């Protein structure tokens, strides 16, 4: 197995001319291992779709190159690339049966009738479309249409499968079940995949690696857990999950941890970034589940509960600090903890190991 099966090298795309040039993708580098599913995630306009379309060959890069299995794609037109795309709107032919929709690409490739039949039937079985071959797309549900679209891509045996927000036309419940199906199938077939979404939950649950993009740049590449626990900057921390941001000063640096001064109290956090020094101003990223309201004592940062909501399995608090910052706090298993209501004074215990400290951004 090669380390990088799909590689983007210095890939760049700008649109328009000098006067109103948009740099949609700005010199990005990415390596995807064989069999991995990688999602491109980021806010609208960050360059996800443009990147996907360059891999497929629908957009010609302004600079850089795409390599698949070690081969440069620059001179290879889209229909000759070893890629297949699953589209948001399914893009099925309305007057063809499900079978013929799936068979379409194989027929263009002039494969024999026997081969076409064998491959299409195999893939229909794999995806659970066995009894739907004679139907037309309008006789299928949205979820079934999306499965046909997936079958049509997979039957071509591409080296890299590309997904362009494939679930955005489905309702919320179907989105969740279909994304699990996609993930299971992708792992079973072992196909290298690039998946574009702006839904962070989708990205976190589907991916081996998540690529966070913003304004044409890759901000971070990592496993869902790495991205959540160790975001490289404020943008990533705020984009993935909920985060409280606290400005603090480094009191001392120990081998494995930082001691921080925050509102006159000491907070300990793991020393993840080795460049942070004593005296530095830093930003603590505290996830809502990393803070626990307790009865006040002189070692804990003080706050006042401004809102508390009981959810059974969870208690949600908003706690105002003396500097008027309001923190979002989530307590799991509330029956094991004191319950506070609006107006209560609390002391805030920070769960050391789940805090993440970033250098202050200039």
Q: Is 193 exposed, middle or buried (0-12, 13-18, 19+ CB in 10 A)?
A: buried
Q: Burial level of 280, CB count in 10 A (0-12/13-18/19+)?
A: middle
- DSSP-assigned beta bridge partners for residue 214: 217
Q: Is 41 in the site for ligand ATP (CB under 6 A)?
A: no
Query: Shortest Cβ distance from residue 58 to ligand ATP (Å)?
Result: 10
Contact stretch for ligand ATP (CB under 6 A) within 46-54, 149-157, 259-267, 277-285: 46-54
DSSP letters for 235-303: HHHHHSS--EEEEEEEEEE-SSEEEEEETTEEEEEE---TT--TT-EEEEEE-GGGEEEES--TTSEEE
- What value, to the nearest 5°, has the Cα angle with vertex 36 and ends 33 and 37? 135
What percent of the residues of the chain are helix, what percent strand, and what percent coil, each to the nearest 5?
A: 30, 35, 35
Residue 22 lies near ligand ATP (rule: CB under 6 A) = yes
In sequence order, the 6+-apart residues with CB closer than 8 A to the CB of 341 are 305, 308
**DSSP characters for 41-72?**
E-STTSSHHHHHHHHHTSS--SEEEEEETTEE
The least CB distance from residue 195 to ligand ATP, in Å, is 12
Please identify, among the stretches 16-24, 65-73, 172-180, 312-320, the one whose residues bind ligand ATP according to the rule CB under 6 A: 16-24
From CA 272, how far away is CA 257, in angstroms rounded?
8
Residue in 6, 39, 42, 146 binding ligand ATP, rule: CB under 6 A: 42
Measured from the CB atom, the residue of 59 and 356 that comes closer to ligand ATP is 59
With CB under 6 A as the rule, give the number of residues binding ligand ATP.
Answer: 13
By the rule CB under 6 A, 61 interacts with ligand ATP? no
Out of 32, 37, 49, 147, point to the residue binding ligand ATP (CB under 6 A).
49
**Closer by beta carbon to ligand ATP, 44 or else 112:** 44
Shortest Å, Cβ 57 to ligand ATP: 15
Closest approach, Cβ 278 to ligand ATP, in A, equals: 40
User: Of 6, 26, 36, 47, which one interacts with ligand ATP (CB under 6 A)?
Assistant: 47
Mask for 197-236, x = binds ligand ATP (CB under 6 A): -x--------------------------------------
The least CB distance from residue 16 to ligand ATP, in Å, is 6
Are 342 and 258 a contacting pair, CB within 8 Å?
no
Q: What is the DSSP string of 214-232?
A: ETTEEEEEE-HHHHHHS-S
Is residue 87 part of the contact set for ligand ATP (CB under 6 A)?
A: no
73 and 67 Cβ atoms separated by less than 8 Å: yes
Residue 84 CA to its chain's centroid (Å): 21
| Contact yes or no for 265/348 (Cβ under 8 A) | no
Question: Segment near ligand ATP (CB under 6 A), from 47-55, 140-148, 288-296, 297-305?
Answer: 47-55
Closest approach of ligand ATP to the CB of residue 289, in Å = 29
Q: Which stretch binds ligand ATP (CB under 6 A): 48-56, 71-79, 309-317, 346-354?
A: 48-56
Nearest-approach distance from CB 181 to ligand ATP, in angstroms: 23
Closer Cβ to ligand ATP, 16 or 238, answer by number: 16
Q: Determine which residue in the list 32, 36, 48, 55 makes contact with ligand ATP, applying CB under 6 A.
A: 48
d(CA 199, CA 317): 25
Q: How far is the CB of 22 from ligand ATP (least distance, A)?
A: 5
- 164 vs 83: CA distance, rounded Å: 13
Locate 273 and state its tokens: 């970034």
Kindly indicate which of the ranges 14-22, 262-270, 297-305, 324-332 contains the residues binding ligand ATP, using the contact rule CB under 6 A. Answer: 14-22
CA distance linking residue 217 with residue 27, whole number of Å: 7
**Contact footprint for ligand ATP (CB under 6 A):** 15-16, 22, 24, 42, 44-50, 198
């Amino acid at each position: 197995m090669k380390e990088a099966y799909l590689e983007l090298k210095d890939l760049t795309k700008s649109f328009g001319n000098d006067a109103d040039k948009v740099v949609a993708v700005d010199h990005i580098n990415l390596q995807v291992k064989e069999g991995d599913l990688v999602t491109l995630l980021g806010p609208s306009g960050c360059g996800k779709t443009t990147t996907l379309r360059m891999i497929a060959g629908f957009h010609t890069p302004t600079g850089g190159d795409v390599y698949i299995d070690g081969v440069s794609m620059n001179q290879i037109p889209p229909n000759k690339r070893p890629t297949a795309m699953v589209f948001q709107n399914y893009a099925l032919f309305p007057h063809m049966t499900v079978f013929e929709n799936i068979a379409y690409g194989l027929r263009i490739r002039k494969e024999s009738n026997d081969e076409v039949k064998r491959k299409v039937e195999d893939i229909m079985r794999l995806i659970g479309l066995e009894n739907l071959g004679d139907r037309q797309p309008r006789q299928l549900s949205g979820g079934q249409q999306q499965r046909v679209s997936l079958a049509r891509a997979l039957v071509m045996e591409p080296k890299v499968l590309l997904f362009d927000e494939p679930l955005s036309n489905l309702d919320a419940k179907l989105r969740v079940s279909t994304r699990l199906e996609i993930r299971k199938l992708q792992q079973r077939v072992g196909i290298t995949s690039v998946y574009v979404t702006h839904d962070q939950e989708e990205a976190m649950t589907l991916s081996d690696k998540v690529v966070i993009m913003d304004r044409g740049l890759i901000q971070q590449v990592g496993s869902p857990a790495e991205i959540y626990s160790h975001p490289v900057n404020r943008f990533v921390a705020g984009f993935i999950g909920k985060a409280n941001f606290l400005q603090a000063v480094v009191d001392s640096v120990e081998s494995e941890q930082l001691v921080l001064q925050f509102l006159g109290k000491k907070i300990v956090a793991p020393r993840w970034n080795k460049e942070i020094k004593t005296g530095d101003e830093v930003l603590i990223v505290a996830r809502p589940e990393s803070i626990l309201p307790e009865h006040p004592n002189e070692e804990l940062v003080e706050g006042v509960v401004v809102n508390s909501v009981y959810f059974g399995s969870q208690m949600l608090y908003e706690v105002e600090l003396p500097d008027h910052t309001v923190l979002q706090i989530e307590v799991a298993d509330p029956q094991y903890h004191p319950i506070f209501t609006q107006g209560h004074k609390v002391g805030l215990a920070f769960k050391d190991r789940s805090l993440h400290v970033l250098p202050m951004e200039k």
